[in-house]
C-alpha cells in the first residue's frame, strides 16, 4: 500500500509561483478577483509563503510553499460532522465535496490554514472555461476544498498501470506543482518505498516538518537551506 508524501527543497525554491499557477490550472480553482482577494477569499491550495529576514542591506527572502500536509493525525478529520474530511488507506486526507455541509470547523482546526471555503459559485471569464480539467469536479458555493496531492493523477496512473499489468515506478505520478517546478524543488512520491526519491530526501539530514510539535504528523518534508560556509 503506497503512502504518498512530498519533499520541498527550500534551498532550490525560487519563489517563482509556477507551482501555484499549475495547481490552479490542474484543479479547476477559480480566481476570485482583486476585491474578493483583498477580503481574504482567494483559494490558493498551494501558496508560497514569503518571509523577510534581516535588516537592509542584509535582507534575505525565504520562500516556503505550503499545501495540505496530509497529516497522519489530521486535526481537521475528527471535527467534520459528515465525514467529508477523512483519511484514506494510502495516507491522503480526502475531502469529499458531496458530503461537505460547510461548517468550516476543519479549516479552523487546520494549523497550517490550508483549507479553503467556496464563498461564491466559481466563475471563469469566457473562453477560459474551455481550459478546465475534466478529471476534477467543480465545487459549488458552501463547500471546503484543499490540496489533494492531485489524487486524480494518482488514480489515473494506478488505473492505467493496473490495466497494463505493470508496477508503478517512482516518478510515474507527478503532482501538477512538482511537474511544473523549474528548479525541481517539489518532489512527490511514495514514502513507503525506501528507495523513492522522496524517501531519500526525507531521510537526509536537512529534513524537518512544519509545526511538528503540534502532533499532526504531517507528510511533507521541508529540506532546510544549506548553511553557507
Residue with cell 483583498: 38
Residues of this chain, 183-222, that bind another protein according to CB under 8 A: 210-211, 214-217
What 3-state DSSP class applies to 64? Answer: strand
The verdict on 146 binding another protein (CB under 8 A) reads: no
The verdict on 137 binding another protein (CB under 8 A) reads: no
CA distance 109 to 76: 5
**Binding residue for another protein (CB under 8 A) from 31, 103, 152, 174?**
103
The verdict on 14 binding another protein (CB under 8 A) reads: no
The verdict on 141 binding another protein (CB under 8 A) reads: yes
Part in contact with another protein (CB under 8 A); list of ranges 87-95, 163-171, 174-182, 200-208: 87-95
Q: Which grid cell is 109?
A: 482546526
Nearer to another protein, 89 or 195 (CB): 89
CA distance 197 to 171: 8
What 3-state DSSP class applies to 140? Answer: coil
Residue with cell 467529508: 84
Compute the Cα dihedral for 5, 40, 102, 211 and give only its sign. Answer: positive
CA distance 34 to 130: 22
CA angle, corner 58, sides to 54 and 59, nearest 5? 55
Question: Mask of contacts with another protein, 147-176, x by CB under 8 A?
Answer: ------------------------------
**Binding residue for another protein (CB under 8 A) from 119, 169, 171, 194?**
119
- Which neighbouring-strand residues pair with 48? 65
**Binding residue for another protein (CB under 8 A) from 3, 24, 41, 206?**
41
What residue ranges bind another protein (CB under 8 A)? 36, 39-42, 47, 49-51, 66, 72-83, 85-89, 99-105, 107-109, 111-113, 116-121, 140-144, 210-211, 214-217
Amino acid at each position: 500500500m503506497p503512502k504518498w508524501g512530498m519533499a520541498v527543497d527550500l534551498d532550490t525554491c525560487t519563489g517563482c509561483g509556477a507551482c501555484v499557477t499549475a495547481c490552479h490550472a490542474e484543479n479547476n480553482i477559480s480566481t476570485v478577483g482583486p476585491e474578493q482577494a483583498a477580503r481574504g477569499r482567494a483559494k490558493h491550495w498551494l501558496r508560497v509563503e514569503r518571509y523577510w529576514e534581516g535588516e537592509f542591506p542584509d535582507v534575505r527572502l525565504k520562500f516556503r510553499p505550503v499545501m495540505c500536509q496530509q497529516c497522519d493525525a489530521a486535526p481537521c478529520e475528527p471535527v467534520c460532522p459528515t465525514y467529508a474530511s477523512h483519511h484514506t488507506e494510502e495516507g491522503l486526507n480526502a475531502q469529499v465535496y458531496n458530503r461537505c455541509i460547510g461548517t468550516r470547523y476543519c479549516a479552523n482546526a487546520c494549523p497550517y490554514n490550508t483549507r479553503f471555503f467556496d464563498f461564491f459559485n466559481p466563475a471563469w471569464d469566457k473562453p477560459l472555461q474551455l481550459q478546465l480539467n475534466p478529471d476534477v469536479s467543480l465545487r459549488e458555493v458552501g463547500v471546503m476544498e484543499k490540496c489533494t496531492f492531485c489524487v486524480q493523477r494518482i488514480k489515473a496512473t494506478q488505473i492505467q498501470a493496473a490495466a497494463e499489468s505493470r508496477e508503478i515506478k517512482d516518478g510515474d505520478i507527478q503532482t501538477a506543482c512538482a511537474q511544473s517546478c523549474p528548479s525541481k524543488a517539489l518532489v512527490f512520491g511514495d514514502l513507503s518505498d525506501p528507495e523513492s526519491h522522496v524517501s531519500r530526501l526525507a531521510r537526509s539530514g536537512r529534513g524537518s516538518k512544519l509545526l511538528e510539535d503540534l502532533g499532526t504528523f504531517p507528510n511533507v518534508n521541508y529540506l532546510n537551506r544549506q548553511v553557507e560556509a
